[in-house]
């Protein structure tokens, strides 16, 4: 998944940002702070996406319900 798509879908799930912070950008939803991977040429892999969603407290059902 492209980083841009990740950010778009997180916004649809109620996250604000991304905001600049230290070495990595982050997004906020309430008190939850999710640190984003730095943009690289490669897409975000399945393993990293799963870890990010776990940290964001987003269920698979929520993630899949967001329109693509």
CATH of the domain at 33: 3.30.920.30
Strands 16-19 and 26-29: antiparallel
Is 44 in a helix, a strand, or coil? Answer: coil
Q: What stretch of H or E contains 16?
A: strand 16-19
In the predicted model, what is the mean pLDDT of residues 48-62? Answer: 94
Q: With beta carbons less than 8 A apart as the criterion, state whether 15 and 26 touch.
A: no
Segments forming the whole domain that contains residue 25: 3-65
Instruction: State the total domains in the chain.
Output: 1
Which residues is 49 bridged to in the sheet? none
- pLDDT tens string 5-46: 999 999 999 999 999 988 999 999 999 999 999 887 789 999
Alpha-carbon span 9 to 2, nearest angstrom: 11
Within a 10 A sphere around the Cβ of 27, how many other Cβ atoms? 22
Whether the model pTM is above 0.85: yes
């Amino acid at each position: 998944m492209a980083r841009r798509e990740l950010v778009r879908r997180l916004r649809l799930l109620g996250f604000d940002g991304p905001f600049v912070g230290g070495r990595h950008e982050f997004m906020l939803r309430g008190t939850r702070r999710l640190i984003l991977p730095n943009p690289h040429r490669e897409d975000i892999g399945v393993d990293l996406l799963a870890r990010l969603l776990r940290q964001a407290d987003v269920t698979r059902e929520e993630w899949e319900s967001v329109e693509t």
